[in-house]
């Protein structure tokens, strides 16, 4: 890593306590009505913080975090990239859009290897089938399928995962119906294109951070081994699951295998090519490891076919997962963490498993591991392994305990934490649980605030995107649970408990998450580096 230097902020005065950044994952600023989980929950601490003079609203979606348009909801990955990088980088979906539009995605070595396998074997596409544009987009899959047809690939199989999280909770037929029709239309001139398997994203394939390898194992059995409940088509599988359980939502739908004449139509075989077409990395790493890693200990794979495997993107730049990918990732450099390490600033990052990678890997510009282990400490609290609406308090107490201990010890100048409650519970659509999740974060904030006040430090509170701020939508008097992220702004608050510096609120045009890094540097006594988006605070 090249040496990165910071200059002192003129007029800044030192103080004894730390700067503590709290990221309330998925807690935006909603309509302040019955649908707004923050507004209707018991939040006396947040109510007080929202009245602080150093309060602002930040954009956390669309172009403000590098996504293609302002119709695109933000997410935790691009949000933490922006928070940690101090600038906006072109991100996931937009990178893929550009690569498809330019044709670059089909000119690389990975696509050439896929073409070579297609001459004798089957090309398999595994991924999330929706237009949620958080992990994947159906347009990307369609572009890949059309290219396969134009280049004469004879046999293609899609292993589709149902969303129900970034789109409507029972919208699977809206995507799999047209997909199967498209595949049927491409199955001419000797081509054979079909959906081969599938399942809900939260129980099939898309685990993250080693939380539950059984999820990946279920996907492996369905996609690779052709083992699972059999149906004549994906559409018939979805209809059957809906009919059997009226409360079934797509994200938790059991796996299925499409069979013909009693045999699976598309298990992965030696000589095939496999593409995982999600662009977002967190829920793509484990399935990539299952295809590539030797030795492998995640689960018992059984038959492991000899295939060429590629991701849509490189999902972990440090660990080089996967080895092959179709689209180059954004090169995020000069992160806040790198600058702080260069200046000798000690730091601590804490969250539970569900968001631990966000305050480390994504915060550090899609790089895993420490920047400087002598100066940094990362603490992961193991998450519960059950539905989040059943324990909506999650590990907020344990995260807070770890931070209180660190504040009292006085060893870390900068502490950053993520409370996942608003996002993970918000995705369940269970109103009572969302209220408990929000109230839990508020309670934790009260404990943190007392500790920061005692240490004479600075508390900074924000969020990475919205979710819990919209629990339902209403049309014609009928409520529908809203389980996706929102386009709402997020709060930003500085509570200076040190009294050392007379901060004023700066007002950059259209402030977004990328301005937080410069703000944190100012609070710690440094001027922002050249090219960083402007700070949200200033000294008179």
Q: Which residues contact 185 (CB under 8 A, 6 or more apart)?
A: none
Environment class of residue 391 by beta-carbon count within 10 Å: exposed (0-12), middle (13-18) or buried (19+)? middle
Number of other CB atoms surrounding residue 119 within 10 Å: 10
Tokens 């100066």 -> residue = 375
Q: Which backbone phi and psi does 9 adopt, to 5 degrees?
A: -85, 120
Residue 446 · residue 465 · CB < 8 Å: no
Regarding beta strands 458-462 and 19-24, do their DSSP bridges make them parallel or antiparallel, or are they unpaired? parallel
Of 84, 62, 39, residue with least CA distance to 365: 84
Q: Which residues contact 246 (CB under 8 A, 6 or more apart)?
A: none
Alpha carbon distance 424, 429 (integer Å): 10
Of 409, 408, 407, 438, residue with least CA distance to 421: 438
Q: How many helices (H) and strands (E) does the chain have?
A: 16, 20
Tokens 């807690």 -> residue = 27
CA angle 287, 362, 60 (to 5 degrees): 115
Which of these is catalytic: 35, 41, 76, 515?
A: 76
Q: 76 an active-site residue?
A: yes
Burial code (b: 16+ CB inside 10 Å, e: under 16) for 396-408 equals: beebbebbbebbe
Of 539, 470, 527, 459, residue with least CA distance to 497: 459
Catalytic residues: 76
């Amino acid at each position: 890593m090249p040496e990165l230097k910071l200059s002192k902020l003129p007029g800044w005065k030192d103080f004894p306590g730390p700067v503590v950044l709290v990221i309330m994952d998925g807690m935006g600023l909603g309509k302040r009505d019955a649908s707004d989980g923050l507004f209707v929950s018991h939040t006396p601490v947040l109510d007080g913080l929202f009245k602080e003079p150093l309060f602002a609203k930040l954009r956390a979606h669309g172009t403000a975090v590098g996504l293609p348009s302002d119709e695109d909801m933000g997410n935790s990955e691009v949000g933490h990239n922006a928070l940690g990088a101090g600038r906006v980088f072109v991100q996931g979906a937009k990178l893929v859009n550009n690569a498809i539009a330019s044709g670059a995605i089909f000119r690389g070595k990975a696509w050439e290897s896929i073409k070579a396998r297609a001459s004798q074997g089957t090309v398999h596409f595994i991924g999330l089938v929706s237009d949620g544009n958080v992990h994947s987009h159906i347009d990307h899959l369609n572009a890949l399928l059309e290219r396969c047809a134009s280049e004469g690939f004879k046999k293609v199989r899609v292993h589709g995962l149902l969303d129900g999280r970034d789109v409507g909770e029972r919208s699977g037929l809206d995507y799999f119906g047209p997909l199967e029709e498209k595949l049927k239309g491409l199955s001419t001139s000797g081509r054979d294109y079909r959906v081969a398997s599938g399942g809900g994203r939260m129980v099939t394939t898309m685990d993250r951070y080693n939380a539950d390898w059984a999820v990946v194992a279920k996907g492996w059995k369905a996609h690779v081994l052709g083992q699972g409940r059999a149906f004549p088509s994906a559409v018939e599988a979805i209809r059957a699951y809906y009919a059997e359980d009226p409360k079934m939502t797509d994200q938790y739908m059991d796996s299925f295998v499409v069979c013909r004449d009693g045999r699976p139509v598309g298990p992965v075989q030696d000589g095939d090519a496999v593409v995982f077409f999600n662009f977002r990395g967190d829920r793509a790493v484990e399935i990539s490891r299952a295809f590539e890693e030797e030795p492998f200990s995640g689960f018992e794979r059984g038959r492991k076919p000899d295939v060429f495997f590629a991701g849509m993107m490189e999902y972990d730049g440090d660990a080089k997962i996967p080895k092959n990918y179709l689209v180059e990732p954004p090169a995020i450099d000069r992160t806040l963490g790198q600058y702080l390490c260069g200046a000798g600033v000690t730091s601590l990052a804490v969250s539970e498993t569900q968001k631990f990678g966000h305050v480390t890997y994504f915060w550090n510009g899609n790089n895993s591991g420490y920047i400087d282990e002598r100066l940094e400490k990362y603490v992961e609290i193991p998450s519960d392994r059950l539905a989040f609406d059943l324990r909506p308090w999650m590990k907020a107490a344990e995260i807070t305990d770890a931070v209180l201990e660190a504040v009292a010890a006085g060893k870390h100048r900068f502490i950053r934490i993520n409370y996942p409650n608003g996002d993970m519970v918000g995705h369940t659509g269970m109103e009572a649980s969302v209220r408990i999740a929000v109230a839990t974060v508020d309670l934790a904030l009260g404990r943190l605030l007392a500790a920061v006040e005692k240490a004479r430090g600075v508390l900074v509170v924000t969020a990475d995107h919205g979710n819990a701020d919209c629990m339902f939508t209403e049309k014609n008097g009928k409520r529908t649970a809203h389980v996706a992220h929102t386009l709402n702004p997020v709060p930003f608050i500085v509570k200076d408990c040190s009294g050392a510096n007379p901060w004023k609120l700066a007002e950059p045009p259209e402030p977004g998450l990328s301005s937080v890094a410069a703000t944190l540097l100012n609070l710690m006594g440094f001027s922002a580096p050249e090219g960083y988006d402007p700070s949200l605070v200033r000294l008179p």
